[in-house]
Structure 1
Amino acid sequence: MLLAADVGNTNVVFALIDKGEIKARWRIASDPRRTGDEYAVWLLQLAEFQGFDSGEIDQVIIGSVVPKAIHNLTVLSEKYLGITPLIAGQDKAAWGIELDIEQPSSLGADRALNTIAAHAKHDGDLIVIDFGTATTFDVVDFNGAYKGGIIAPGINLSLDALVGNTAKLPRIAIEKPESDSVIGRNTEDQMLIGVFWGYVSLIEGLVARMKAEIGRPAKVVATGGLAILFDEHTDLFDVVDPDLTLEGLAILAGRAA
């Protein structure tokens, strides 16, 4: 069984994957100071609670956009599981795709993994949108090459900046406004309209520009925590796949086995 760790700027997602099927997943806040021992206490107990035996894990892969976290997760793997982990993008777990951009080494692991999984699952040209700490838009051509993309502030990051840099604006939850009107009648409604419909307009507008530049039909694949929320209020997405990054890790681990 494979233990996959997807380390993002906000959360670390662990998943147990058997023959390509995700059997369980757990999420913890990203903290590069968290030690391998701390990860072990938390993760192995959760696995046991759900009936999994850590002795069944025979492969570990780590994909991380937080370089400092890799060492402590390696300690978790080697000390408690007796396994030297694969690091996504390195050695046996090299990407295996063309990175047709100016600085290939600067591409985040999550975006490369999304590219690998999206191309494996879908034909033709693709635009992959990942709603994370940042919202990323990635173009994958019909041959599976990564062609470039866009990085925009995530919606939570935008809201944090708005609330944190103003004296009177309150914290609000991110959800669709109750009314379809885009003329708010109070401060909270006006904020929610700006954040929610403003973000829908942002993703629709950027994807329209990307499609025009690609010049061929392109399928839009969405992933990340807020993809499902936005999917209910726009016709933009052809596919919503919340597990795309984990699936990319499983593909790399399968190639390295």
Structure 2
Amino acid sequence: MSVSKSTNSKPYILVVDAGNTSIKWSVFLGDDIVWRGRDKDIDTQCFDIKSVYFASVRGREANQILLDSIQDRYKKAVCTLLDVRSHACNVINAYDEPYRLGIDRWLGVLYAYHRYQSNVVIIDAGTAVKIDVIDKNGKHLGGYIAPGGRLMEQALTSNTGRIRFSEDDMEDIDGLPKNTGQAVRLGCREMMFGFVERVLRDYPNSVFLFTGGDGEYLMKQLDVDGFFDPDIVLKGAKLLGDERVIM
């Protein structure tokens, strides 16, 4: 969505999700996302931002550079830094050292419990597959981090010199793999499927919430009765930011 001019009467909030390789931007009006983008997409937008909620997995120096650029762009905006604590938004963190839980996982947990108020299993399928479990009382029980299918594939091929294949090898897959490329890719995929299936089987009376670039694909491949939402980290950031501002 493109905005041609600022609207001073509307309290737009900019949520920043700064990952190691890219920055995700989203603009909220109330609880609705009215614009989203990555990296330099923000340069074309003219929202009159009143508040900035900032979540990042980057180091202190990189964060400061990014914060300075945001403050320079939105000089009147109030910036709230989001971090991981022992509890927030009616959720208790499972970690003895809360700050060691990734901010992206924490924000997803906060939103998932807020949205469903139930036992929830979050499956975030991207480069890594991250799973977090929350009970109906808002207690984060912990979770797992495992490599995604492509990451396993890269680890296998980079550490095994004789495994070489091209994308052409992935054509005409029917039944068991019949060449090395198919054997590697489908084998890694099956390991990922098995990992997720095992965890879901351990928590049957739960809402299954999928997210991440491969989340919807994974949900469909496993034929899971669940929900897909690509924006749980952004929505969790908005939720936590609102709480921090009120406090």
Give the TM-score taking structure 1 as reference length.
0.79
Q: Which residue of 2 aligns with 1:21?
A: 32
Residues 44 and 171 of structure 1: CA distance in aligned 2, closer, same or farther (over 3 Å): farther
Deviations 1:18-63 (A, max 9, x none): 11111222224xxxxxxxxxxxxx344232xxxxx14x11111111
The question of 1:6 aligning with 2:4 is answered no
Maintained 8 Å contact 2:130/2:145: yes
Residues 165 and 17 of structure 1: CA distance in aligned 2, closer, same or farther (over 3 Å): same
More displaced stretch, 133-142 vs 8-17 = 8-17
Residues 149 and 90 of structure 1: CA distance in aligned 2, closer, same or farther (over 3 Å): closer
The question of 1:196 aligning with 2:196 is answered no
| 1:180 CA drift (Å) | 5.2
Deviations 1:64-105 (A, max 9, x none): 2223432122112222211342111279xx834311332222
Q: Which amino acid aligns with 2:95?
A: I
- The structure 2 residue matched to 1:86, chosen from 80, 83, 86, is 80
The question of 1:137 aligning with 2:125 is answered no
Q: Which residue of 2 aligns with 1:165?
A: 159
Note the residue ranges of structure 1 that are not aligned, 5 or more in a row: 29-41, 48-52
| 1:245 CA drift (Å) | 0.4
Residues 106 and 79 of structure 1: CA distance in aligned 2, closer, same or farther (over 3 Å): same
Q: Which residue of 2 aligns with 1:65?
A: 57
Note the residue ranges of structure 2 that are not aligned, 5 or more in a row: 1-11
Maintained 8 Å contact 1:221/1:237: no
- The structure 2 residue matched to 1:238, chosen from 219, 223, 226, is 226
| 1:177 CA drift (Å) | 7.9
The question of 1:105 aligning with 2:99 is answered yes
The question of 1:228 aligning with 2:216 is answered yes
Maintained 8 Å contact 2:84/2:99: no
| 1:12 CA drift (Å) | 2.0
Q: Which residue of 1 aligns with 2:69?
A: 76
- Output the CA distance in 2 between the equivalents of 1:78 and 1:99: 31
Of all paired residues, the percent bearing the same amino acid is: 25
Q: Which residue of 2 aligns with 1:45?
A: 43
Root-mean-square deviation over aligned CA pairs: 2.4
The question of 1:154 aligning with 2:148 is answered yes
- The structure 1 residue matched to 2:198, chosen from 198, 201, 205, is 205
- Output the CA distance in 2 between the equivalents of 1:111 and 1:84: 24
